[in-house]
Amino acid sequence: MTLDDAPLTLSLAMLAGVTAQGVARHAQVPGIVILLVLGVALGPDGVDLVRPQVLGAGLPAFVGFAVAIILFEGALNVRIDALRRRARSIRRLVTLGALITGGLATAAAALIMPWDWRLAALFGTLVIVTGPTVVNPLVRRLRLQPHLADILIAEGIFVDAVGATIAVVTLEVVLADSSRAAAGEAVAIVLRFGVGALVGAAAGLLLVGLLRVRRLVPHGLENVLALAVAVAAFHVSDALVSESGLTAAIVAGLLVGNLPVRRLSQIAEFKEQLTELLVATLFVLLVADVRMSDVAALGWRGAAVVAVLLVVVRPATVFASTRGSALTRPEKLCLAWIAPRGIVAAAVASLFATELGHAGYAGGAQLRALVFVVIATTVTLQGLTAGVVADRLGVRLPPRSGALILGANALAVLVARVLTGLGMRVVLVEARDELCAAARADGFEVVAGDGLTLETLAQARIDGAAWCLGMTPNEHVNFLFARLIADELRGPQLAILLERHDRGVTVPMADAHDVAVLATAETNVLRWLDLARRGAVEVQRWRFVGPDGAHAFAELDADQVLPIALRRDADVTPVTARTTPRLGDELAFGVASDRREAATAWLQARGWQAQPPG
């Protein structure tokens, strides 16, 4: 057996990368931090299990394949309406900001490092990019104000194409044989963006058109079709004009993500999982390809360049690009601190090191080493401190609290009344005017509209809700509501009512999408809805006194008892099939008036002790 085997190296990097992502999630640290450590540990400077050099020309090919999917997936989740709202700041960060970053970073490298201007210019253009692979998870975890999140995510997507294209043009200028050739390469930047945009638009419209025709694309093939289109757009554009594929992948993703497309959520979910796999594998390979001796040789000069990027270049870029905008000073400071570099910077730096080596130009290894130091430092430092900085600046959303309930029928209002009585803020979303009016008359906050649209959910301030409960009599609508939030918004915990006599949506289906089932099990929803309409439901409070919480709901008769809400110390949560009571927990039950005695006997037999009303 030999380790100098390309498939073995690729498979080991893939396994190590996915393992690192899992460890990072458990440790609640940025995934790339673990990937960087693991790449070094498994590479030639560590135990020498992962040997990227054996991939040869296959490594750049794999990088291109991966980057196409990563950028397509990132653009797929960018909303054009959000871009319009923040257009000025985003546009200036991607254009003026890119020029400022490139110029100042070039000056810092030229003054601090023992390099000529050519190598410094290559470094300056390489660190223009940030990237969705590191920015998006960080923004999601921080829960920044929506306009700040929109700006950072959009910048990460578009500046990848701008920065990488400028960097490649700079490399061609550096390696050009004459000043005329260099001028020609600089002019070609417009051609790269233009061809990339045209190819990406054609690919995106083609995919949208195919998916819109019912039954044209067989069920289950949507994901692989989208994958094929994204990769083809990238490589066809690159074949027409070199290094235009980044723009093509982004434009294609933008169109597909913003035009009505059948089963888009499934495509987005598949692409996100594939992107995680590709990012993890690529980082292990690219980090393992960097020699630690090259990093050590940078010495204090490398640390000084990184410090200038953090405390001078990025703040100058943000403040110049957002001048005259509505952003406050704390918001600008937050943007100035968050600029981690990601996979595109790593991939292009590795490409440059190879190209410079082939051209006989010294310094490629040092250039790549410094870029990887920038990646490691920005990802680790900003990933671990961004939360503290955002808190100090007051730019994070408040902690999630309260519940958003889909439905204002009598049963949903009953549950809302119980939760409100326990101190939880509740917002009801309902499309029927008469139900909205009745719920408002009862003193509830109601948002009128279709709860299956993002606009209505945004109006109901879903970004601050800790729970989203689907409580319409239609379990299919409840499930679609939960899926929409899981796919597009994330964050809140999801729970829905399931009708016991309808097998359209099952408990395993809900579990597969991390959606809990309300009231511990499938329920006779129509019966409880009728009881609630007639005022035939009594809300009783019971305390769990033991002994075994695992059997607290055993043999529940869903026609006589409806578990609604649990209070544990100061925390209040809806009761779901995942709820396990502990000693001292209080729980509010709905009890059918015609089954009061049987319900009382059942509760007492399972360790529940009645509490006085009030």
Whether residue 419 is predicted with pLDDT greater than 60 in this model: the reply is yes
CB pairs under 8 A, 24+ apart, for 83-87? 83/150, 83/154, 85/147, 85/150, 86/147, 86/150, 86/151, 86/154
Q: Is residue 1 a part of any domain in this protein?
A: no
Q: What is the pLDDT of residue 426?
A: 93
Start-to-end CA distance of the chain, whole Å, equals: 74
Give the lowest-confidence range in 157-161, 436-440, 480-484, 491-495.
Answer: 157-161
**Nearest of 251, 217, 208, 221 to residue 233 by alpha carbon:** 251
Residue-range definition of the domain harbouring residue 265 = 6-393
Q: What is the mean pLDDT of residues 232-257?
A: 86
Judgement on whether residues 451 and 365 belong to the same structural domain of the protein: no
Q: What is the pLDDT of residue 263?
A: 59
Between 361 and 337, the more confident residue is 337
Identity of residue 145: Q
Residue 1 pLDDT class (50, 70, 90 cuts): low
Residue 82 pLDDT class (50, 70, 90 cuts): low
Q: Is residue 338 a part of any domain in this protein?
A: yes
Give, to the nearest 10 degrees, the angle between helix 117-126 and helix 96-112. 140
Q: What is the mean pLDDT of residues 573-580?
A: 91
Q: Is residue 570 a part of any domain in this protein?
A: yes
Retrieve residue 272's tokens. 């996100």
Q: What is the pLDDT of residue 444?
A: 92
Asked if residues 504 and 472 have their Cβ atoms less than 8 Å apart, the reply is no
Q: Which secondary-structure segment (H or E) carries 118?
A: helix 117-126
3-state DSSP helix/strand/coil % of the chain, to nearest 5 = 65, 10, 25
Judgement on whether residues 99 and 238 belong to the same structural domain of the protein: yes
Q: What is the pLDDT of residue 614?
A: 62
Judgement on whether residues 318 and 451 belong to the same structural domain of the protein: no
Q: Is residue 398 a part of any domain in this protein?
A: no
Q: What is the mean pLDDT of residues 539-563?
A: 85
Judgement on whether residues 389 and 450 belong to the same structural domain of the protein: no
Distance CA 46, CA 42 (A): 5
Judgement on whether residues 104 and 189 belong to the same structural domain of the protein: yes
Q: What is the mean pLDDT of residues 62-67?
A: 81
Reduce the secondary structure of 518-573 to three states and give it as a string.
Answer: ECCCCECHHHHHHHHHCCCEEEEEEEECCCCHHHCCCCCCCCCEEEEEEEECCEEE
Q: Is residue 88 a part of any domain in this protein?
A: yes
Residue where a domain terminates, one of 352, 368, 393: 393
Whether residue 494 is predicted with pLDDT greater than 90 in this model: the reply is yes
Give, to the nearest 10 degrees, the angle between helix 117-126 and helix 364-393. 40
* Buried residues in 128-148 as b, exposed as e (16+ CB within 10 A): bbbbbbbbbbbbeebbbbebb
Judgement on whether residues 415 and 347 belong to the same structural domain of the protein: no
Strand order in 571-574's β-sheet? 571-574, 561-568, 586-592, 537-544, 608-610
Whether residue 407 is predicted with pLDDT greater than 60 in this model: the reply is yes
Residue labelled with tokens 């998006």: 136
Whether residue 182 is predicted with pLDDT greater than 60 in this model: the reply is no
Residue where a domain terminates, one of 324, 358, 393: 393
Q: What is the pLDDT of residue 270?
A: 64
Judgement on whether residues 311 and 440 belong to the same structural domain of the protein: no
Judgement on whether residues 457 and 420 belong to the same structural domain of the protein: yes
pLDDT, tens only, 251-281:
888 888 777 766 565 666 666 777 788 888 8
Longest Cα separation, the chain: 95
Judgement on whether residues 364 and 480 belong to the same structural domain of the protein: no
Q: What is the mean pLDDT of residues 348-371?
A: 84
Residue where a domain terminates, one of 393, 412, 443: 393
Whether residue 352 is predicted with pLDDT greater than 60 in this model: the reply is yes
Q: What is the mean pLDDT of residues 465-481?
A: 92
Q: Is residue 82 a part of any domain in this protein?
A: yes
Between 449 and 174, the more confident residue is 449
For residue 137, the domain's CATH number is 1.20.1530.20
Distance CA 111, CA 105 (A): 10
Q: Which secondary-structure segment (H or E) carries 406?
A: strand 403-406
**Other C-beta atoms within 10 Å of 274: how many?**
17
Judgement on whether residues 161 and 293 belong to the same structural domain of the protein: yes
For residue 592, the domain's CATH number is 3.40.50.720
Q: What is the pLDDT of residue 185?
A: 57
Q: Is residue 604 a part of any domain in this protein?
A: yes
Q: What is the pLDDT of residue 588?
A: 93
Helix locations, 143-178, DSSP H: 146-175
pTM of the model: 0.74
pLDDT, tens only, 199-218:
999 999 998 888 888 778 78
Distance CA 284, CA 42 (A): 8
Q: Which secondary-structure segment (H or E) carries 493?
A: strand 493-496
**Nearest of 336, 274, 329, 342 to residue 129 by alpha carbon:** 342
Retrieve residue 541's tokens. 């409070």
Identify the bridge partners of residue 425 per DSSP, sorted by sequence position: none
Asked if residues 565 and 520 have their Cβ atoms less than 8 Å apart, the reply is no
Retrieve residue 402's tokens. 């309260």
How many structural domains comprise the chain?
2
Q: Is residue 302 a part of any domain in this protein?
A: yes
Judgement on whether residues 326 and 444 belong to the same structural domain of the protein: no
Q: Which secondary-structure segment (H or E) carries 447?
A: strand 445-448
Judgement on whether residues 238 and 324 belong to the same structural domain of the protein: yes
